[in-house]
Amino acid sequence: MQVYLDNAATTKMSRAAIEAMLPYFDGTYGNPSSLHSAGQRAKEALESARASVARCLGAQPSEIYFTSGGSEADNQAILTAAALGEKKGKKHVVTTAFEHHAVLHTLKKLESRGFEVTYLPVGSLGNVTPEAVADAIREDTCLVTVMTANNEIGSILPIAEIGAVCRERKVLFHTDAVQAVGHIPMNVTEMRIDMLSLSAHKFHGPKGVGVLFARKGILPISLIEGGAQERGRRAGTENVAGVAGLAAALKEATEGLPVNMPRLTALRDRLIAGLSSIPHSALNGDPVRRLPGNVSFCFEGIEGESLLLLLDEYGVEGSSGSACTSGSLDPSHVLLAIGRPHEIAHGSLRLTLSDETTEQEIDYTVDVVRSVVERLRAMSPVWRDKLEGKRPYLL
């Protein structure tokens, strides 16, 4: 059986998204900046996608800027707030310890430019309270950036409440909603979000295209200089097909939420229950305030990479954390942030579901993980020490 459970890394494109893209590869291939009809047809496609995306988010079309993905949108949002802050002498940013690297690395860059960043601790369940955000805001705070849902451990943060705090204190609020959009209801107006990042390939759209939402009155700085595309905020000929695919995928995902959320949540909880029966294992993240499709576990006495390779031999495709950190031997900053010791953080497994995941796949996965964990432990000298009482169990 082949079971793809790495949907937080990327998803299979939906039929609707593929169909929406096809016309812009051959028939309607014009450049939206061209004045002839072929160009204007492409321009219309771009603008109708913008309107559709805006409707899905509770935004205005003029507040939607297309980017090359979530990372670019995160960079642009943060650098925009920094530029606005700098003008007023405000050089302090509030964030959390477990943001995506697209956020953390951009903030590191700001620190080297003299900005100060407060990294709020996220506790053992991976969360921050609106009160903690309120307490961290200072006179010189120019931005609060807190992700809507964590990409590794799936916790969902109280974004509407944090948005209310920021609006009251008149501080710009950005959220990296890449894991949330298309997976849980999102409305930028109700949640008082000033800037939001999303990425199409996380909700069955194409890779390499995303959105920065920036509320009216906030003019994003351009990271790429050139032509006047995206109202002068993002130069370069638009990815018309990609944008059409993004809009179609977002509409489909948003409309499917009432059916897919409860279905996925039930499958997720079945997987969590199955994996919890493995001795010396623990769920990472909040069991309740959690993305419908996210399961993240630590297994004591296991090395995550070996686990992944063996699972792959049985057709189960998962991840040890985030795709962006795999390839480095450091344990994930997210697992360290929720207080997992290094040794435990190395034995992590993230399995992320999609609308196509079935109960049979879940049950097969539980069986495979259980037997692979047993096999790896049987080969491990560290595990033998634990069995013999020479080392303590941590989980």
Ligand X SMILES: *Cc1c(COP(=O)(O)O)cnc(C)c1O
Binding site for ligand X (CB under 6 A): 69-71, 74, 100, 102, 147, 151, 176, 178-179, 199, 202, 210
Of the candidates 142, 166, 298, 324, the residue annotated as catalytic is: 324
Q: How far is the CB of 306 from ligand X (least distance, A)?
A: 25
Closer by beta carbon to ligand X, 71 or else 155:
71
Q: How far is the CB of 63 from ligand X (least distance, A)?
A: 19
Closer by beta carbon to ligand X, 202 or else 340:
202
Closer by beta carbon to ligand X, 127 or else 281:
127
Q: Closest CB to ligand X belongs to which residue?
A: 70
CA distance 298 to 322: 14
Q: How far is the CB of 177 from ligand X (least distance, A)?
A: 8
Closer by beta carbon to ligand X, 159 or else 373:
159
Per the annotation, the verdict on 324 as an active-site residue is: yes
Q: How far is the CB of 325 from ligand X (least distance, A)?
A: 11
Closer by beta carbon to ligand X, 91 or else 100:
100
Q: How far is the CB of 284 from ligand X (least distance, A)?
A: 16
Which residues are annotated as catalytic? 324
